[in-house]
A = this chain, B = another copy of it.
Amino acid sequence: MNHTEVLTRYTANFVDELNVNGITDVVISPGSRSTPLALTMAEHKGIKEWIIIDERSAAFFALGIAKQTKRPVALVCTSGTAAANYFPAIVEAHYSRVPLVVLTADRPHELRDVGAPQAIEQIKLYGDYVKWFQEMAIPEATPEMLRFSRSKAARSVYMAQEGNSGPVHVNFPFREPLSPDFSLENMWGEASEQSYMPAFDGKKRLDSEQLIQLIEKLKSKQKGIIVCGPQTDADFAEAVTSLASHWGLPILADPLSQVRSGQHHKDNVIEGYDAILRNEAVREKMKPDFIIRFGAMPVSKPYLFYVKEHMAVLQFVVENHTGYREPVGNTTEFIFADSVMLCKDLIETEPVLNFEKDWLDEWKRMNLISKKHLLGGSEENITEGEAVRALMEVIPDSSGLYVGNSMAVRDVDTFFMTTPKNISILANRGANGIDGMVSSGLGAASSGEPMTLLLGDLSFFHDMNGLLAAKHYNLNITILIVNNNGGGIFSFLPQAKDGRHFEALFGTPADVDFKHAVMMYGGEYAHAATEDELKEVLDKSYQHKGLSVVEVKTDRTANADWHRKKWKQIENEILNSGD
């Protein structure tokens, strides 16, 4: 077999095996050394290739697809700094447990570490951030090496999803010439419907003894709270709300938990806890005697203060596989078991627990007060909070919302009230960066589900290159930019009092007219100055199929003031009414 035939069969077997194991999307960035993989991916009928020039954006785009579809996505790039550009998204995928199969092309061994062009050290390039790393062999096409190729492909997809999902990295040395020959007979090799690593993968489940022990610990308690952090299992909301109903407990549901929206019963869902817990006296009064938290910590800072002030309270943290997501130091017992199964099992374990009704009622009362004030009133010039409030009102049923970090996710926490609408909420809360948001949102949008991306001006600027994908693939998305001309979140921090240097260092106004960017990428641009105007403009954007960017300009000081005013109103009414 000549070089080209060996190259073709080796690569084709790998690519086909990825597809047999569930890979249907690959994001490719242009390059020469990656030709074998890129062309073979394009040739494979079961895999859709997305071509994205900027590798940093490409990796976040893949992350967005993977978060949306909950399935692994592949990435292909050439050797050199191209691969280094993947690092931010890989870090995010690591911490938010998203399966990515990163395939980097490399110079062959004889061109490494000798000053050859575009050759960098790529072995373990991403260190501990990937779950699994494999250096592939120089292509060979003996039956054994084709089995090797398929085996690594199958295992890469499996490892990306084993236990807590995450990124894996496979590095491919290729020698020139790099073009495959697709005219070869039986190029795809010995594929079958069956993966090279077939597996029945079980879920963790507590046995009856463990369940009884758990119930035993809760028997004497009265004031429990169920806390739901960010998660994306579609069955979880139904399961956890059933448990909460069964036990009569309040659920503090983070906006990213998927618990605030959907058809499940939400009577026990207390979405206003961020505002409620801002007051120290309230936090004291509402001291719980146990906490069951599913998933990571909620974004809410007041919730953090709440648990900090009640360190000795018995807390259970549930992880589907494993993990140590307990940043406060609370007395914690971990439960490593599938969340959905756990809820069902707890419901069915005797004896049935019966908790104090007043406790839940008080949470509900405070929640109503909170919602009333947050949803009422209107400022002359739209504030950030009002922008998000408007969005939550008009966002279509059966659509997705990708939320940026910094102020965006905090405002969604405040204004995302329980709703029967099916809204799936995604975010990059692994590392909470402001990078890659446009690409992440577009990756999620590529699935076809109507998608809204909510973010600040700095985040929008950081990944403006990501807009090219919208143009190139005519993706349908509404991007709502809340522009406070800089790092708005810093206005809330102590540093804000530092007049000197503050504006330059923390205000960081981008001072850029985004309209030009939107035009460059063939999108529709609109601006809104009031809440009503915004609702109108958003509605219109949802009718438009393609890239729609809606911008709201807010004032940082006005935002901070408005938030504080609302919290004060809520606090006053909570403390001065009721018991």
Contacts and interface: CB of A to CB of B under 8 A. Distances in A.
B80 A433 contact: yes
A115 B323 contact: yes
A318 B116 CA distance: 16
Interface string A70-96: 000000000011101101101110010
A510 B90 CA distance: 25
B53 A458 contact: yes
Contacts of A490: 30, 32
Contact of A461 (B54, B120, B125, B182): B54
Contacts of A337: none
A118 B88 CA distance: 12
Given A35-B495, A53-B462, A461-B54, A512 B521 contact: yes
B462 A465 contact: yes
A2 to B, nearest CB: 14
A51 B508 contact: yes
Interface in A479-538: 486-487, 489-490, 493-495, 497-498, 500-501, 504-506, 508, 510-514, 516-517, 519-521
Contacts of A513: 520
Contacts of A433: 80-82, 118
B80 A487 contact: no
A324 interface: yes
Given A177-B494, A495-B178, A521-B512, A325 B431 contact: no
Contacts of A116: 297, 327
Interface string A163-198: 000000000000001110010000000000000000
Q: What class of interface size applies to chain A in its complex with B? A: 35 or more
Interface string A448-473: 00000000001001101100100110
Interface in A271-307: 296-297, 299
A32 B495 contact: yes
B493 A32 contact: yes
A128 B124 CA distance: 10
A115 B510 contact: no
A447 to B, nearest CB: 21
Contact of A465 (B297, B461, B514): B461
Interface in A6-49: 28, 30, 32, 35, 38-39, 42-43, 49
Nearest to A519: B516
A115 B324 contact: yes
Contacts of A432: 80, 117-118
A128 B120 contact: no
A67 interface: no
A300 to B, nearest CB: 11
Nearest to A129: B121
Contact of A115 (B85, B127, B297, B495): B297
A43 B501 CA distance: 8
B498 A39 contact: yes
Contact of A431 (B42, B51, B120, B512): B120
A266 interface: no
Contacts of A85: 56, 87-88, 435
A1 interface: no
A70 B80 CA distance: 24
A326 interface: yes
A199 interface: no
Contacts of A117: 297, 299, 327, 429, 432
Contacts of A297: 115-117
Contacts of A505: 28, 30, 35, 38-39, 42, 49, 51
Given A178-B495, A495-B178, A501 B80 contact: no
A575 to B, nearest CB: 28
Interface in A105-128: 110-111, 113-121, 124-125, 127-128
27 contacts: A35-B505, A35-B506, A39-B501, A42-B501, A42-B504, A51-B504, A51-B508, A54-B461, A81-B92, A84-B87, A84-B88, A87-B87, A95-B120, A114-B324, A115-B323, A116-B297, A127-B127, A177-B494, A178-B494, A179-B495, A179-B497, A461-B468, A468-B510, A471-B512, A472-B511, A513-B520, A520-B520
